[in-house]
A = this chain, B = another copy of it.
Amino acid sequence: MITNETVELDVAANILKVLGDKTRLAMVKIVSENECCVCEFVDLFDMSQPAVSQHLRKLRDSGIVKERRKGQWIYYSLNPSYPYHSFVLQIIKNLPSQHYRIEELEAQGKRVTCCDE
């Protein structure tokens, strides 16, 4: 749901800066559709694990996404308690779904098993 609250200029600029990177924008769209863990991003983006971690840290530090540890894995998802969550949703809603990427991972057997809990 999209509300009509105004977002201060500098807050908005910071959010847009964090989202203004192709990798991070894709990450945000992906976690808005599927909870996802670090090693899956490594596969999805064909990128080193530290590089992925550092992008995720920016997203986490800003508050846009949150993490949830499950055993050895840390799952990332959109953070609905983020004060500017609806602003983020509004931005990503017109991005093409990235669900097909998750399906490709599954087809390759690379999706982390998380069917418990």
Contacts and interface: CB of A to CB of B under 8 A. Distances in A.
Contacts of A16: 16-17, 19-20, 25, 91
A38 interface: no
Copies in the complex: 2
A16 B25 CA distance: 9
Interface residues of A, number: 29
B26 A9 contact: yes
A7 B98 CA distance: 13
Interface of A: 4-10, 12-22, 24-26, 29, 87, 90-91, 94-96, 98
27 contacts: A5-B94, A6-B94, A6-B95, A6-B96, A7-B95, A9-B25, A9-B26, A9-B29, A9-B96, A10-B22, A12-B25, A12-B94, A13-B19, A13-B22, A13-B25, A14-B20, A16-B16, A16-B17, A16-B25, A16-B91, A17-B17, A17-B20, A18-B20, A19-B20, A87-B94, A90-B91, A91-B91
